[in-house]
Amino acid sequence: MDGFLEINDLSKKYGSRTVVDHIRLSMAREEILGLVGQSGSGKSTLARLIMRLIEPSSGSILLKGKAQMIFQDPIASLNPKMKVIDAVAEPMIAAGANKKQAVLGAVQYFKKVGLSAGYGDRFPRQLSGGEAQRVSIARSLAAAPELLILDEPLSSLDETLQRSMLDLLLTLKKREKLTYLFITHDLLLAERICDRIAVMKEGSIVETGPTEEIFAHPQHDYTKRLLRDSI
């Protein structure tokens, strides 16, 4: 590990309930780490902690760089009252660009995600799920992140769209030298694209390792069960 992301002894409690339980996890620059585990195991909570959208109860997160998040429901993740060109321009304005520079920049990000600039005048509800996901990826990229946290980014899309969106994500990762934390229920997908896998159960990481090892020799009963259920 190169210390790109270091999570130490991280916990999050809601009332008396521990949702993230003493997690230790590292990531290296430019890797794809798959975070898998049943519904309710704490994956999205861990993502929100890394994004600093919520405060930990204890422990630490050191991240050398900026993180952005891509959500499962792209339309809900965009401001319904904002034209999508302005949504993509906004992070650049926040970083100090003037309006004109930011709009020109936004057109470039539209291109990177395979959308023509003509979509810019639309509002989120006037887009298909796939188009909206492209816009939300463009908006994330416009904030110049090093880490993308993708929380079930393909789950709301049909199979054909999933394939083209995955291709786009892998191309962007290479081109922009990004690091991905990829949260998914889809173990076959995780096996295909991830360098390493972390398995989460009831708030804890019960197993982590290179993808081939996790799939060939799962150590934890829970991982074995997840693998069996995914076939």
Q: Which residues bind Mg ion (CB under 5 A)?
A: 44
Query: Which value, in Å, is the radius of gyration of the alpha carbons in the chain?
Result: 18
Nearer CB in complex with Mg ion: 3/40: 40
218 binds, among Mg ion, ligand ATP, none (CB under 5 to 8 A by kind): none
Nearest to Mg ion of 92, 184 (CB atom): 184
Q: d(Cα 21, Cα 59) in Å, to the nearest integer?
A: 10
Distance CA 122, CA 105 (A): 17
Of 73, 37, 51, 55, the closest CA to residue 5 belongs to 51
From the CB of 181, what's the least distance to Mg ion, in Å?
12
**Is the Cβ of residue 44 or residue 136 nearer to Mg ion in the bound state?**
44
Q: What token pair was written down for 81?
A: 């009252």
Minimum distance of ligand ATP from residue 118's CB (angstroms): 34
Query: Is the Cα torsion angle 180, 186, 192, 197 positive or negative in sign?
Result: positive
Q: Which residues here bind ligand ATP, judged by CB under 6 A?
A: 14, 19, 37, 39-45
Looking at the Cβ atoms of 104 and 188, the one nearer to ligand ATP is 188
For residues 59 and 50, is the Cβ–Cβ distance under 8 A?
Answer: no
* DSSP β-bridge partners for residue 26: 6
> From Mg ion, ligand ATP, none, which one binds at residue 14 (CB under 5 to 8 Å depending on kind)?
ligand ATP
40 binds, among ligand ATP, Mg ion, none (CB under 5 to 8 A by kind): ligand ATP
Residue 41's binding partner out of ligand ATP, Mg ion, none, with CB under 5 to 8 Å set by partner kind:
ligand ATP
Residue 120 contact, options ligand ATP, Mg ion, none, Cβ 5-8 Å cut-off depending on partner type: none
For residues 198 and 216, give the distance between their C-alpha atoms in angstroms, rounded to a whole number.
15
Helix (H, G, I), strand (E, B) or coil at 53: coil
